[in-house]
Amino acid sequence: MAELSDHRLTFKEMCAKFDVTPRTLRYYEYIELLTPEREGRTRFYTPREVARMTLIMRGRRFGFPLEEIRQWLEMYETEGTQVQMRTWVENATRQIGELTRQRDEIDEAIAELTRLRDEAQATLES
């Protein structure tokens, strides 16, 4: 049995693990977010690629653009953990502000839609 550090996922396993389409996974490779090992035409994803994909998916969930995620992942390779973490804190702080602004806009839209619905309902009942 292979050790966990030696475990590699196939293309299909990687898609299933992260619930992404083959097109998405190929695109992430194309823009160099992921670099799987290749044996002939077969791709294998190492624990490093699985960890990168975990961070990519987390970044997408929080609304970060793919290019920003790519740059952040590259920082680890070129500048180390401290610079990467400092950048992460800055980016996260900015994104929290953006998500808060979006939430406020959604709250306002819900309040206005509720008011208009209630007015229409009252008109129907009178």
| Block mean pLDDT (10 aa), the chain, length 126 | 68 97 96 93 95 95 94 87 92 96 98 98 94
In a domain, 72, yes or no: no
121, 83: one domain? yes
Q: In what order do the strands lie in the sheet with 42-45?
A: 9-10, 42-45, 37-39
Rounded CA separation 119/125 (Å): 10
Evaluate whether residue 29 is within a structural domain.
Answer: yes
pLDDT at 6: 67
- Claim to verify: residue 54 and residue 97 sit in the same structural domain: no
Is the same domain home to 83 and 61?
A: no
Q: Domains in the chain: how many in total? A: 2
Using DSSP's 3-state secondary structure scheme, residue 37 falls into: strand
Q: Tell me the residue range of the domain where 24 lies.
A: 1-65
DSSP-assigned letters across all residues of 49-91: HHHHHHHHHHHHHTT--HHHHHHHHHHHHHT-HHHHHHHHHHH
Return the pLDDT at 78: 86
Residue 38 sits at φ, ψ, to 5 deg, of -125, 135
Q: Whole-model pTM?
A: 0.79
